């Protein structure tokens, strides 16, 4: 019977250089899908490849489906199986379903609740579908996984709140200004954290960026990224008069902005709100600045407190999301079981229908029946077929849906396997292809 399997790697188990080696570019996907399609045991396939994870999903005939995918990854990327096994994980059937649902719900992400992964899964599924690599099982699996991701975001606040220093700064700025449009950002010192914070602010539509740095060329390099204005920093703080948001991160041994200097700047600004973010250690801005009217100062500890609080809130929301995922896995489990028995039920009906059609044709050729009588005989024949097949099909579904069974239908106990085998033997059924050939 068919097996749902996945083999992959992520930030949880592998360093960046290994994830890079295992990743698939968009140009590589076509060849990868072709190779998977040519494998005799692979019926369907999908590939999810992002900066933090690479996962191959497949529906296989083989009970060793995970080995099939490991061999594929090893051969395609020229990585020895021993090394591959060190930095990859594998899941089968219900565990594979559970894993994908966790991924789309962002429960497996580096930052729980991050929104990017759902879009990445959508894109991966769309690419796999366009390549003709997926079929009935993976189409249903990925469609449901995406639906689960959406449900988690709708019914929980797992994505609420900033969980990085730069995001926290942006959220605080929004609380002060409500809208960041038409606001000017001044960066003092061109460090990585300042740049990242400015990047998030620009994404939130600030209109102007000023970069002041002691090394002018560095200011030029950073300003280019934001279409901003570079300045050679000195003791003159007059450029802050037009700044609504100030980000300071230098290695200066003393305060660059003190209370008297900022008070004068605020007077020239006519006391329009100013949001100052001091992420330097030691601090660049005198804490007394916070006492200046309409000046709001936050340091690195303030931002980390916001982040910690939001992480705690996300952890609580994650518990709700975990229960949603469990519920959805159980529902999909039932759906898989029904899909697994449908081909057998279909084969039974086709077998009976074929015999009945031949006998009915012979009967109608010999009998002199009017159209109304023919319809009555045909209806009676269909009724007999339904009644004869009702008990075996009902029993088959009952075994498949027995809650005592562990795992998917593929892992069902001997009663299920023996019953299916008996149906094939008794009624002379052809071996059914599996869930790919059946629609609900």
Residue positions annotated with a catalytic role:
51
Tell me, what DSSP letter sits at residue 431? P
| C-alpha to C-alpha distance for 77 and 88, rounded to whole angstroms | 14
Do strands 53-60 and 42-49 pair parallel, antiparallel, or not at all (unpaired)? antiparallel
The two tokens of residue 314 are 């996300």
**Alpha helices per DSSP H over 256-405:** 259-268, 300-366, 371-400
| C-alpha to C-alpha distance for 332 and 353, rounded to whole angstroms | 31
Report the side by side order of strands in the sheet with 245-248: 229-232, 208-213, 184-188, 245-248, 274-278, 295-299
| C-alpha to C-alpha distance for 24 and 22, rounded to whole angstroms | 7
Q: Which residues pair with 22 in a beta bridge?
A: none
3-state helix, strand, coil in the chain (%, to 5): 60, 15, 30
| C-alpha to C-alpha distance for 224 and 304, rounded to whole angstroms | 29
The 3-state DSSP class for residue 351 equals: helix
Supply φ then ψ for residue 49, to 5 degrees: -130, 110
Q: Which residue has the tokens 């084969």?
A: 347
- Which CB contacts under 8 angstroms, 24+ apart, belong to 255-261? 255/283, 255/284, 255/285, 255/286, 256/188, 256/284, 256/285, 257/284, 257/285, 257/286, 257/289, 258/286, 258/288, 258/289, 259/286, 259/288, 259/289, 259/291, 259/292, 261/237
| C-alpha to C-alpha distance for 49 and 46, rounded to whole angstroms | 10
Tell me, what DSSP letter sits at residue 295? E
């Amino acid at each position: 019977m068919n097996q749902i399997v996945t083999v992959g790697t992520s930030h949880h188990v592998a360093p960046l250089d290994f994830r890079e080696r295992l990743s698939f570019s968009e140009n590589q996907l076509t060849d990868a899908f072709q190779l998977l399609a040519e494998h005799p045991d692979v019926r369907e396939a999908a590939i999810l490849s992002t900066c933090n994870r690479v996962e191959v999903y497949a529906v296989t005939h083989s009970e060793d489906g995970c080995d099939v995918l490991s061999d594929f990854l090893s051969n395609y990327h020229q990585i020895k199986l021993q090394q591959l096994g060190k930095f990859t994980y594998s899941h089968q059937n219900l565990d594979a379903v559970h894993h994908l649902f966790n991924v789309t719900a962002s429960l497996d992400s580096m930052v729980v609740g991050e929104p990017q992964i759902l879009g990445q899964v959508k894109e991966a599924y769309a690419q796999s579908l366009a390549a003709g690599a997926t079929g009935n099982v993976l189409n249903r699996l990925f469609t449901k996984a995406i639906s689960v991701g959406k449900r988690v975001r709708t019914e929980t606040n797992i994505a609420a709140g900033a969980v990085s220093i730069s995001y926290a700064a942006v959220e605080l700025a929004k609380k002060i200004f409500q809208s960041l449009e038409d606001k000017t950002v001044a960066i003092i010192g061109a460090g990585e954290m300042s740049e990242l914070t400015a990047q998030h602010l620009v994404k939130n539509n600030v209109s102007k960026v000023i970069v002041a740095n002691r090394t002018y060329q560095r200011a030029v390099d950073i300003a280019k990224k934001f279409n901003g204005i570079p300045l050679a920093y000195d003791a003159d703080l007059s450029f802050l008069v037009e700044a609504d948001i100030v980000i300071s991160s230098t290695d200066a041994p003393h305060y660059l902005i003190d209370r008297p200097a900022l008070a004068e700047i605020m007077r020239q600004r006519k006391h329009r709100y100013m949001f100052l973010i001091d992420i330097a250690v030691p601090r660049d801005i005198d804490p007394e600045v916070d006492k200046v009217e309409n000046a709001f100062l936050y340091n690195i500890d303030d931002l980390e407190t916001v982040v910690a609080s939001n992480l705690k809130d996300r952890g609580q929301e994650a518990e709700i999301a975990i229960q949603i995922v469990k519920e959805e896995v159980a529902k999909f489990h039932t759906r898989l079981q029904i899909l697994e028995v449908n081909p057998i039920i279909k084969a039974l009906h086709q077998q009976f229908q074929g015999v009945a059609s031949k006998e009915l044709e012979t009967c109608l050729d010999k009998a002199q029946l009017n159209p109304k009588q023919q319809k009555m005989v045909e209806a009676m024949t269909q009724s007999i077929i339904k009644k004869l097949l009702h008990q075996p099909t009902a029993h088959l579904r009952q075994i498949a849906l027995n809650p005592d069974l562990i795992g998917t239908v593929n892992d069902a106990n001997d009663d299920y396997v023996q019953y299916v085998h008996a149906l094939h033997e008794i009624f002379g059924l052809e071996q059914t292809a599996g869930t790919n050939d059946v629609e609900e």
